[in-house]
Structure 1
Amino acid sequence: MPEDIEALVRDLSARDRTVRDAATNALVALGPTVVDHLLPHAIDRRTRNPRIDVRSIITRLGDGVLPRLREIRREGPGRLRAGALTLLVDLGGGDALDEADLRAVERLVRIKLVDERPVETPSEAGRWLAFPADRLDDAVTALGLHDVRPTTNIMGVAAATQATDALDFQDAQGATHRAYRVFITPEFENWRAEGPTKNWRMLWGNSFLDELDGFLLARELSEHCGEAHFYVLDPYNASENWYVARNGHMVRSYGTYADPQFEGEPLPFEAVQREIADDDEAEAFAEGVPDAFTAADNLSVHPGPQLAEDTHGHGWLATTHPDVPNTRFKGALPL
């Protein structure tokens, strides 16, 4: 039987698609017994034939492979243990790990937090909220966050912008709900920010901000934190937005495709930017600042690399429902 399985694995790289499809279906039909033969290929980092997609086969095998992967984690072989851990989280989230592995991951996160400097957030595109750093507890309350736990910056960014950050689930009564995962950054100090607040945090979460309306969330957040901002950088649609809310009300906003583009009275930094604008920028800055990155740099904190001396504390992962902890979200995250 092992020889037959190895032959099927070799057939996955055949030139003939019919042979590849037949091998794939045969391996899936054999069930969890094939995972030991597939796992070495799933974790091989070397360049290999792209037609060998063993991860998709393991995914098709579903929860049936979880017991064997956990057994490999406990008993080996050693060369497969790291790959088994990654696949366990990919297939079942943290809930698929046993207590020893969960403690090991949490311990590794704590170790990484000690010297994770410098850090950065996506600067080419994205959407994020900003709020005063010392109002973290108020932000957690305002947004209804749960299972707030320390995380590295690289792990948090991946969780909120690349991995699965929303899932549907049923409560005890059978009603369907949607939970989201978000990342709150460390404190970032910005001496250029208008007003007395110089330390800010950002909140990232693509699905959360898209589906629950980042503008509304900024207003709700400002009710509890005094001030909150929402920013959007969307190069695909050549669009930018920046939105400032204070005490539950919008005070200033800009949107590339909004009508009108500007709302509210200009803020002090906009007058400064207009004064220093060159001839080519003068017309664009006549009504205000149409640039989310510039607005963020002057109002709170802009995304991208952050200086180590301006970064304080660590980030946090959180979810939006008490019945859905972070371990329910599938997908291995970098540490």
Structure 2
Amino acid sequence: MDMRTAAETLAAGERFSAWDMADAGPDDLPELREIRRTGKPALRNAARALLFALGGPEALGEYDLALVRRLIRVRLLDDVPVPMRGCEFWYAIPTADQAAVLDAFGLSDAEPVTMSLGTEIWNQHYLGAPGHQRCARVYVSPALDGWTLVFGEPSDDQHPAGITDERSWSIEPREQYQAMLANEKAHREVRRARCVELSRRFGAAQLYFRSHGDSMTSWCIAEKGELVRLYDVSAPEESVGELTAENGYLLPHEDTPLPEGWADDIPHTEDPLDWQREFVRRYRRLKAELGIPDHCDADTIAEALSVHPAKIGPHTRVEGNGVIALTRCGREYGHPRTLLRRLTYLPAPEQPSIFGEDQT
């Protein structure tokens, strides 16, 4: 797709994403700048979005960059926290010293953003071209009820020693699985060390992971240079310590102690949802009757100990403003592909689920 067609598609409101720009690059910037200079208003706005997507803030040019920065400054005056969904991985640091946080994570080239825009940019960090798309940029929140949240991590933590490239793995499934486990273990060790080091500098540090695609979850809590709690559902044998916030819950890897065969007599019908709905109703009813607690996860612990991104809102006390900043990978390889259709973000509506139906 050439850049004029891309701009026309975007201006028309048709489906278009960062994936559609996989083959685009620096050679396409002059054409976009020409469209930006001579096109009709809607096309010019689309060209500006594509310029940012391909080259980051520096690709916009002095005029457009000043325009965007001025607009952001105005919107920061009455910025309101927006609940963040899909934020799978984040650090929580008990400080409002954003400069110190940026330094601790090795971040630079910080650009102020509203919380809405920061969320929009972060939600696209996994889209677009391969390579360093996911590790080039980090979103750092303003201080939220005294906690600064960091979405992302330093380049060194994302590419630690001992990690093997997936392209080098054997085609044999068992060997692939072993390589994946080894990589995951290396990441756990690096992130645990990072959390402890941050706690030496800021008094405390917390790290949370909650996958929205499966049951993977973990949390790491450190205080004054000491590891207080480490839990990962994929490696419960490596757990360290325990938390009061976990009291009254089952840990994610623990089975729910229901009677054997409790779901065996649920009939199967032509509609598989019938079986699922009855399974959920019976599961909830038995849990209540037997007094079996719920499972906790990173969301549960974060809400209890610091700030859960999905629970921030107008009630949240805000100090300062958020920024997007580059990691070492970002400084070396440039901004990742980010297609901003607007400078605001609204969380996607909750999808209906059988788990939200009648619980009787």
Deviation at 1:230, TM superposition (A): 0.6
Aligned to 1:295: 301
Superposition pairs of residues 140-219 of structure 1, within 5 angstroms:
140-163=102-125, 180-189=136-145, 199-205=146-152, 211=159, 213=187, 214-219=191-196
Q: Is 1:321 aligned to 2:328, yes or no?
A: yes
**Match of residue 257, structure 1, among 225, 234, 248:** 234
Letter in 1 for 2:53: D
CA contact (8 A) 1:94 1:327 kept: no
**Shift of the alpha carbon at 1:223?**
1.8
Q: Deviations over 1:221-275 (max 9, x none)?
A: 11211100011112433121111011222111222122326411x333344769x
Q: Does 1:269 align with 2:245?
A: yes
- In structure 2, the residue corresponding to 1:73 is in which secondary structure? helix
Distance 1:136 1:41, change over 3 A: closer
Aligned to 1:100: 63
- Cα deviation digits, residues 297-323 of structure 1 (max 9, x gap): 111111214132323132121122398
Unaligned residue ranges in structure 1 (runs of 5+): 1-23, 29-34, 170-177, 190-198
- Long gaps (5+) in structure 2: 161-186, 251-286, 344-360
Is 1:130 the counterpart of 2:71? The answer is no
Deviates more, 1:304-313 or 1:81-90: 304-313
Q: Which amino acid aligns with 2:7?
A: L
What does residue 267 of structure 2 align with?
none
Partner of 1:40: 8
- State the Cα RMSD in Å: 3.6
Identify, as 1 or 2, the structure richer in strand: 1
**SS of residue matched to 2:89:** strand
Percentage identity across paired residues of the two chains: 29
SS at match of 2:236: coil
Relative contact order, higher structure (CA 8 A, sep 6+): 2
Query: Structure 1 residue 149: deviation in Å?
Result: 2.8
- In structure 2, what is the Cα distance between the partners aligned to 1:255 and 1:80? 48
Partner of 1:109: 72
Match of residue 80, structure 1, among 43, 46, 49:
43
TM value normalised by structure 2: 0.64
TM-score (ref. length: structure 1): 0.68
Distance 1:311 1:153 in 2: 13
Aligned residue-pair number: 272
TM-fit CA distance, 1:38: 5.8
* Alignment partner, residue 200 of structure 2: 223
Answer yes or no: is 1:63 the counterpart of 2:26: yes
Q: Partner amino acid for 1:85?
A: R
Mapped to 2, the partners of 1:280 and 1:323 lie a distance apart of: 50
